[in-house]
Amino acid sequence: MLKGAKEEDLYKIKVVAQNRLRPDKITGFFWLTLIFSGLMTGVTAVALDASSAITNPIWPGIQKLGIALFILNVAVALFFTPEKNAYRYQRLQAVFLSLFGFTFSIVFFPFYFLAAEDKMAPGYMGTIGIIILIGGLALTVYATLRGFKRVQQGEFRKDGKGLYNFKESKSQVSIPIIFGAVMIGGAIIQLASDAQTAVASMIGVLFALLLCTALQYSIALVWPEFLILTLSKFQFEQFRVPMRKRKSISQKVQSTGKKVKR
């Protein structure tokens, strides 16, 4: 996907690799995804055990998948917490960055569908959720293809505009927002006109839908950066960030003493 690209074509990605997505900072992201993954896994388990309204046979399979991803996330977070591992195996770490970045974008959707089934929401609520989910996946694909195109156009060079130039990319950013707002607005309108469903009982379900949409569509716009960084680490040795040398306690005391004398 980066075939033909040179190191200078990915200057802005290299800067990101040395700062915002430095190996020790990526580990923090793993712990963040672990917290939310564990929360959703726990909620799913409790809901399946406590609610008699949840009868869809697909849920045990989804629960097993969620548990497997949670266990993987635990192992990854623990393995890369020591800085030596984070820097030594940063290519593997980048692969998990892309993986967990993607799974994090859809982690709340099971919660939404569970809530909708538990509250016995109308069928169109499930349909709207599926449409938003598919729309988010389509946005991820589009943003990724656009990201690779911008690499070819030289937008990641030192003088380039990067992944997004918001002054010129208003449509790419605003269209997903408008789409999500229209779908959620449509759900509210349908609920308000549905005499058999109390809108008040659906507020929690609507909030979950809003959360799912905002999270997925936001990550879809930045996920290509994760993927391009991952590919760059495999293609260019220079993208392997050297581990920073930290001052020992004695060195810090000495440097502090020198400052005081001055």
Confidence label for 28 from pLDDT (cuts 50, 70 and 90): very high
Confidence label for 214 from pLDDT (cuts 50, 70 and 90): very high
Supply the DSSP string of the chain, one letter for each residue.
--TT--GGGGHHHHHHHHTTT-HHHHHHHHHHHHHHHHHHHHHHHHHHHH-SS---TTHHHHHHHHHHHHHHHHHHHHHHSSHHHHHHTHHHHHHHHHHHHHHHHTTTHHHHHHHHHHTT--HHHHHHHHHHHHHHHHHHHHHHHHHHHHHHTTTTSTTS--S--TTT-HHHHHHHHHHHHHHHHHHHHHHHH-TTS-GGGGHHHHHHHHHHHHHHHHHHHHHHHHHHHHHHHHH-GGGSPPPPPPPPHHHHHHHHHHHHH-
What percent of the chain lies above the pLDDT cut of 90?
52
Does the pLDDT value for residue 80 go beyond 90?
Answer: yes
Does the pLDDT value for residue 260 go beyond 60?
Answer: no
What percent of the chain lies above the pLDDT cut of 70?
90
Mean pLDDT of 180-204: 82
Supply the DSSP string of 2-61, one letter for each residue.
-TT--GGGGHHHHHHHHTTT-HHHHHHHHHHHHHHHHHHHHHHHHHHHH-SS---TTHHH
Mean pLDDT of 170-175: 67
Weakest mean pLDDT among 62-66, 142-146, 174-178: 174-178
Q: What is the pLDDT of residue 54?
A: 86
pLDDT tens, position by position, 218-252: 999 899 999 999 999 999 888 888 887 765 555 55
The pTM for the full model equals 0.85
pLDDT tens, position by position, 114-163: 999 988 888 889 999 999 999 999 999 999 999 999 998 888 998 888 88
Q: What is the pLDDT of residue 55?
A: 86
Q: What is the pLDDT of residue 162?
A: 83
Q: What is the pLDDT of residue 166?
A: 55
Is pLDDT larger for residue 174 or for residue 152? 152
Q: What is the pLDDT of residue 176?
A: 78
Mean pLDDT of 37-54: 88
Residues 6+ apart with CB under 8 A from 100: 29, 30, 33, 73, 76
